[in-house]
Amino acid sequence: MTAPGRLRVLLGAAPGVGKTYRMLAEGRRLLAEGRDVVIGIVETHGRAATAAMTEGLPQVPRLRTRYRDVELEEMDVAAVLERAPDIALVDELAHTNAPGSEHEKRWEDVQQLLAAGIDVISTVNIQHIESLNDVVERITGAPQRETVPDRFLRGAHQIEVVDLAPQVLRDRLSEGLVYPAERVDAALSNYFRLGNLTALRELALLWLADEVDQALMHYRREHDINGKWEARERVVVALTGGPEGETLLRRGARVAARSAGGDLLAVHVIAQDGVRTENPAALAQQRALVEKLGGTYHQVAGDDVPAALVEFARSVNATQLVLGISRRSRLAAAFTGPGIGATVTKESGEIDVHMVAHAQAGGQFTLPPLGGALSARRRVLGFLVALLGGPVLTVALAGVRSPDAITSDVLAYQLLVVVVALVGGIWPALFAAVLSGLTLDYFFIDPIHTITIADPLHLLALILYTVIAALVSFVVDRAARYTRAARRAAAESELIQSIAGSVLRGEDAVQALVDRAHEVFRVPGVRIMAGDTVVASAGDVEPGDEPTVMPLDGGGTLELHGGHLASSERRLLSVVAVQMGAALERQRLQAVAEEIEPIAASDRVRGALLSALSHDLRRPLASATAAVGGLRAAGDSLTPEDRQELMDTADESLAALATLVNDLLDVSRVQAGVLSLGTTPTDPADSVASALDELQLGPSEVRLDLAHHGATVLADPVLLQRALVNLLANAERHTPEGVPVSVTTSTFADRLEIRVIDHGPGIAPERHDEMFVPFQRLGDTDNTTGLGLGLALSRGFVEAMHGTLTPEDTPGGGLTMVVSLPLLTERAGADRSEAGAARATTPQAGSAAEVTVSSGAGTASSSPRARGREGVPGEDPHRG
């Protein structure tokens, strides 16, 4: 049988990091060493450096197939198998093959090659790993439909991360080394954002680190290695739920921090019955502290705490264990033997154990409880069975009494003791054992009708009765404890699940917590009080009832009316109270934010209006007044040229004044939420063409690359045109002479983006926020360049259409303004078109006062509108 081939995978955080180049370089190296290497398939994506690396490497011709009149090329698996090389280079492991291929996915082709004994070197990006697919989508916003199963990747003999710093990758992208020039802008602004690349890089490194840990643990298990391997420090802190937990965690964090890359792990051991947890609320706080310290929290079950701790420490390859000194007093330790710390130290082997002193050490001594887990009702029932069953059994045995029946008599009474133990536990069982022994001696052992223990064997029998009763009672008590703990754990789990579900379904968090507490604790009434005010309530509260009161974090109290809670229920209630306090705090903060936002918006608008009145309104008014005054004062003494110049100045100033008043009215409509929209399915190419017609810009001034492939948005065409006019006017004004402005369209996820790109001086990123202020021209003082309200309106118009307007730096210099609108779907069109013309759609309060400036360093005022149609098709600028 042929030995299976070995798989080597080159893993990248994103396209363009150099996976294919590295694979080809490795193939050339192996070929130079005399290995038989062939290219199964390589995708160069038009990259010259990658294509050059294929030269000199043997290639298997691709398999060509036709699908819907399109010719597709795939790897010819049969030809590679027939060629039977030592090593095959197969690019893009997650690729989906053409319909009709033998396998649906390329990784299945690779699987067939491996089964034939051919070694394979392949490539894959982190976004294509099946377990990380949804995480990557949340980070980037781009869904990935091509995935590789984790089980297949983890079966590879070698996985390497091809790493590249995020900024270096963006620089390569800007230089055109990854995508063609027309796709660079959209790629940089979407998938290849610096934050996205940083997160994907970390995700790739963490996945590989997990793979290394798994490989290490697998190797240790295969070779039966139980000793510690100090690849890095791993500090395990044992938590009991007691108050010393915080001290232990901080000490453990300091120990881990002394070695670079040290790991902190906190572990809490619960009993198999789930009842060892001392303080759930304290454990919850300590868990939160673990996460703040950069560690991880774990919970394991085990009745033997020292053994469970040591076993966990060895399973995670821990190098150090941190435990607190026992809280038992010396007297308690003398009676109960060595504590957990001493036992762990003895069994830890090569793992270092730190015994940390704390304020609670050696201060407690408690006697073990005498009461069992059985209810009082069952104990009473056990005594009744013993009292009634004994006489009945005695009468029945006395009727058939004979010297040879003593053995069966003894077993019958022993059975009665076991039954009583099963019903009532230890105390009824001990009572039945003593009563049975005396009854046997009195009625069935010579001399009868006397109680004498002359024979030592009789005494031994009585002792055995008692021992058996105690053992059976212990088993029954333990089983009852497990059952009760399981029911309670299920109830607590159901409570937490229902609370989480209520909040996730959008219910009010505070009311949801109160409702679930009322259901779970089965009390007549539950309410949250803030002074004398009822914040939330459930059930009925009787006047004069004395409630169980628990204070909540941040103020307020929780009241449970009509019942008294057991200590175990109080512990659960404390956990719920912590959640209630957090929910109340969030509610209060939200209310404060809602109160402050209108005030802040009003202040912004007031300041903008004062700026307009004191600066932009006064200047054209003063110019017009001076020009008219000059005409009146000079009379007929002016030459025709001077008269015309004064009239032009007055006309220009009055026109600017009228524009300012109109823009102020539009801003006030946006701010007040009375901007009426006539939304219809709109092709952005129409709005772009209309804006170009209005500004009279031709092909020499504007370069178009409209690649939205007929996609439409639900928008107001007139308002969209006004927004684009402002953006194009600014871009044209700040772009150097002879350099055209670029207008591109593309689709990304569920958005359509219109990008207006200039190559002017640009604006520093730290000043982007200043561009959003109305009446702001960032240094412009020319009275002909606008009044600083055009882009305030542009952003207001775009946001009213459920879109966004954001500035970005243009690669190579300049500014790019991005209008992002939601793509029109059938359902969205049906839902919105009914109310489109009549509904006043507005952005959030204050949005009109937070303006995105178009390009360069200024804004443009709105202009008269014109309509036209023009569209230029293009290619998709970015493939996720």
Q: What is the pLDDT of residue 880?
A: 34
Residues in CB range of 793: below 8 A, 6 or more apart: 663, 666, 667, 670, 722, 723, 726, 848, 862
- Select from 430, 459, 480 the last residue of a domain: 480
State whether 278 and 188 are in the same domain.
Answer: no
- Select from 603, 632, 667 the last residue of a domain: 667
Q: What is the pLDDT of residue 847?
A: 33
299 lies in which domain range?
234-356
CB distance 820 to 723 below 8 Å: no
> Alpha helices of 84-224 — where are they, by DSSP H?
106-115, 133-140, 150-154, 166-174, 181-189, 194-222
Q: Is residue 682 helix, strand or coil?
A: strand
Q: How confident is the model at residue 843 (pLDDT cuts 50, 70, 90)?
A: very low
Rounded alpha-carbon distances, angstroms, from residue 409 to 402, 405, 413, 415, 433: 10, 6, 6, 10, 14
Q: Among residues 522, 579, 672, which one has the least CA distance to residue 284?
A: 579
pLDDT at 866 > cutoff 50:
no
d(CA 822, CA 344): 61
Average pLDDT over residues 723-739: 86
CB distance 697 to 732 below 8 Å: yes
766: tokens are 């730290």
For the ranges 141-145, 374-378, 740-744, 757-761, the maximum mean pLDDT occurs at 740-744
Which residues, listed in sequence order, are joined to residue 815 by a DSSP beta bridge?
809
pLDDT at 118 > cutoff 90:
yes
Q: What is the pLDDT of residue 77?
A: 92
Burial label, 320 (beta-carbon count in 10 A; 0-12, 13-18, 19+): buried
Q: What is the pLDDT of residue 111?
A: 92
User: Which helix H or strand E contains 797, and what residues bound it?
Assistant: helix 790-800
- Total residue length of the chain: 880
The rounded radius of gyration (Å) of the Cα atoms in the chain is: 40
Q: What is the pLDDT of residue 232?
A: 63
- Select from 308, 324, 356 the last residue of a domain: 356
Q: What is the pLDDT of residue 107?
A: 92
In a domain, 499, yes or no: no
Percent of the chain with pLDDT strictly greater than 70: 72
State whether 797 and 690 are in the same domain.
Answer: yes
User: Which helix H or strand E contains 747, and what residues bound it?
Assistant: strand 741-748
State whether 180 and 53 are in the same domain.
Answer: yes
CB distance 275 to 263 below 8 Å: no
Which residues, listed in sequence order, are joined to residue 9 by a DSSP beta bridge?
122, 159
Q: How confident is the model at residue 493 (pLDDT cuts 50, 70, 90)?
A: low
In a domain, 531, yes or no: no
CB distance 772 to 763 below 8 Å: no
For the ranges 52-66, 172-186, 576-590, the maximum mean pLDDT occurs at 52-66
Q: How confident is the model at residue 751 (pLDDT cuts 50, 70, 90)?
A: confident
Residues in CB range of 367: below 8 A, 6 or more apart: none
State whether 300 and 383 are in the same domain.
Answer: no
17: tokens are 């990091």
Q: How confident is the model at residue 498 (pLDDT cuts 50, 70, 90)?
A: low
Arithmetic mean of pLDDT over the chain: 75
Q: What is the pLDDT of residue 90?
A: 94
Rounded alpha-carbon distances, angstroms, from residue 671 to 414, 553, 599, 666, 849: 89, 38, 13, 9, 8
Residue matched to tokens 């399109």 = 70
How many alpha carbons fall within 13 Å on the CB side of residue 787?
Answer: 29
State whether 212 and 244 are in the same domain.
Answer: no
CATH, residue 211: 3.40.50.300
pLDDT at 610 > cutoff 80:
no
3-state helix, strand, coil in the chain (%, to 5): 50, 15, 35
Higher pLDDT, 141 or 310: 310
Average pLDDT over residues 708-715: 87
**Range in 107-121, 282-296, 514-528, 809-823 with the lowest mean pLDDT:** 514-528
Rounded alpha-carbon distances, angstroms, from residue 181 to 53, 152, 274, 641, 813: 22, 36, 62, 52, 15
d(CA 345, CA 352): 8
Q: How confident is the model at residue 832 (pLDDT cuts 50, 70, 90)?
A: very low
State whether 52 and 120 are in the same domain.
Answer: yes
Q: Is 696 left (phi over 0), alpha (psi -120 to 50) or beta?
A: left
d(CA 173, CA 187): 8
d(CA 248, CA 241): 11
Backbone angles phi, psi at 820, to 5 degrees: -115, 125
CA–centroid distance for 352 within its chain: 35
State whether 824 and 770 are in the same domain.
Answer: yes
Rounded alpha-carbon distances, angstroms, from residue 129 to 7, 14, 16, 104, 622: 16, 12, 17, 16, 67
State whether 45 and 171 are in the same domain.
Answer: yes
Residue matched to tokens 């045109």 = 721
| 87-90: strand order across its sheet | 37-41, 87-90, 119-125, 7-12, 158-162
State whether 27 and 61 are in the same domain.
Answer: yes
CATH, residue 842: 3.30.565.10
645: tokens are 């110049």
d(CA 745, CA 707): 5
User: Which helix H or strand E contains 574, and what residues bound it?
Assistant: helix 567-611
Give the burial string for 31-69 (b: 16+ CB within 10 Å, else e).
Answer: beeeeebbbbbbebbebeebeebbeebeebebbeeeeee
Q: What is the pLDDT of residues 391-417, one digit of tens each?
A: 888 888 887 777 667 778 777 877 888
Q: What is the pLDDT of residue 198?
A: 82
Which residues, listed in sequence order, are joined to residue 343 by a DSSP beta bridge?
none
CB distance 276 to 246 below 8 Å: no
Q: What is the pLDDT of residues 67-100, one digit of tens each?
A: 777 788 899 999 999 999 999 999 999 899 888 8
Percent of the chain with pLDDT strictly greater than 90: 11
CB distance 271 to 299 below 8 Å: no
Domain count for the chain, please give it: 5
* Amino acid occupying residue 614: S
Q: Among residues 120, 23, 20, 30, which one has the least CA distance to residue 80?
A: 120
State whether 119 and 216 are in the same domain.
Answer: yes
Q: What is the pLDDT of residue 30?
A: 93
Which residues, listed in sequence order, are joined to residue 264 by a DSSP beta bridge?
235
State whether 398 and 425 are in the same domain.
Answer: yes
Q: What is the pLDDT of residue 872?
A: 31
pLDDT at 36 > cutoff 90:
yes
Burial label, 461 (beta-carbon count in 10 A; 0-12, 13-18, 19+): buried
pLDDT at 717 > cutoff 60:
yes
Average pLDDT over residues 147-155: 85
Q: What is the pLDDT of residues 332-356, one digit of tens each?
A: 444 445 567 778 888 777 788 888 8
Strand pairing report for 263-270 and 296-301: parallel
User: Which helix H or strand E contains 752, and what residues bound it?
Assistant: strand 751-757
CB distance 627 to 653 below 8 Å: yes
State whether 393 and 316 are in the same domain.
Answer: no
Rounded alpha-carbon distances, angstroms, from residue 673 to 171, 343, 575, 841, 862: 43, 71, 44, 7, 19
In a domain, 468, yes or no: yes
Rounded alpha-carbon distances, angstroms, from residue 308 to 197, 238, 239, 352: 41, 11, 13, 16
